[in-house]
Chain A
Amino acid sequence: AQSVTQLDSQVPVFEEAPVELRCNYSSSVSVYLFWYVQYPNQGLQLLLKYLSGSTLVESINGFEAEFNKSQTSFHLRKPSVHISDTAEYFCAASVKNSDDKIIFGKGTRLHILP
């Protein structure tokens, strides 16, 4: 069975600084990978996903994530964060081309410092 690990429960970063939120997965088969975001007092929504093809995927608000098969990672990065990026970020995985369930990590709370 697959599992998703987010090593950092909280990440503080100054506004306009770069950030990386780490995600590692464990699976014996190929997986789809996702990042979901939960802004304060809002529901969860999809930020970006990797299904196949290019290993670098981007969101509309400047985040990107790179699928690294050898390191079983899917870290989320942004070169310059804004106060509006304050949120909790969840990494998720599911087995590719199957009806298997989607499993989430424990989340990383991103604190943007002024």
Chain B
Amino acid sequence: GAGVSQSPSNKVTEKGKDVELRCDPISGHTALYWYRQSLGQGLEFLIYFQGNSAPDKSGLPSDRFSAERTGGSVSTLTIQRTQQEDSAVYLCASKDRNNEKLFFGSGTQLSVL
């Protein structure tokens, strides 16, 4: 597949449980972003990985949120002790360093009951 792949596409969880969302970027893309899309809030920046640099975590809403990117490729966004307000679509995007165009995945729809 040539695009950004996210899994699962849908996740329903109970309040208080931990969830892991996966993003597989386009091969060779050095930059990887996580955004959160919810009604009325647009695309909220969460975290940004660029090559081997320390990630920009300035958008993470609380310490329950964390992300890692292993081997400069696949990334996992982890939400601990989920709350109902965490319900949203979580989008991953990647780009090449020499191209300013972001390629988005289809997102993970997270529902916290």
- Residues on A lying within 8 angstroms of B by beta carbon are 6, 9, 32, 34, 36, 43-46, 49, 51, 90, 92, 94, 99, 101-107
Contacts and interface: CB of A to CB of B under 8 A. Distances in A.
Given A43-B106, A44-B91, A104-B35, A51 B42 contact: no
29 contacts: A6-B42, A32-B100, A34-B102, A36-B102, A43-B105, A44-B43, A44-B93, A45-B104, A46-B101, A49-B100, A49-B101, A51-B100, A90-B43, A92-B43, A94-B100, A99-B97, A101-B33, A101-B48, A101-B56, A101-B58, A101-B59, A102-B45, A102-B102, A103-B45, A104-B42, A104-B43, A106-B43, A107-B42, A107-B43
B20 to A, nearest CB: 21
B17 to A, nearest CB: 27
B65 to A, nearest CB: 16
Nearest to B35: A104
Contacts of A99: 31, 50-51, 53, 97
